[in-house]
Amino acid sequence: FSPCGRFALTSSRDRYSKIYDCERLELIHTLSGHSLRLYSAKWSVCGRFAYTTSRDNVICCWNVAMGKSVQKLDSGHRTAMVG
């Protein structure tokens, strides 16, 4: 859940992360930017950003309000990034 507790962030094997509004019970954004299945999705402390890691060895930083990727980093890892 987001730091404010209102939003939920998911990650999936289908390569997508989703943000849900738990008060309104609706999907807000589907985050698409990885080429392989996701390992994890985490909120930033401020709640304005989300981070996803994937089997494609890329870390994506997402602007939660816009539902857009703001930065992609090649992690350099060649094994799972989970956490």
Predicted local confidence at residue 75, as pLDDT = 67
Tokens describing residue 82? 């989970």
pLDDT value at position 37? 93
- pTM score: 0.84
Per-residue confidence (pLDDT) for residue 65, from 0 to 100: 95
Alpha helices per DSSP H over the chain: none
pLDDT in tens, the chain (83 residues): 999 999 999 999 999 999 999 999 999 999 999 999 999 999 999 999 999 999 888 999 999 999 999 999 886 655 554 55
Single-letter residue type at 29: H
Q: Check: CB of residue 20 under 8 Å from CB of residue 26.
A: yes
Is residue 12 exposed (0-12), middle (13-18) or buried (19+ Cβ within 10 Å)?
A: exposed
* 39: nearest Cα among 58, 50, 54: 54
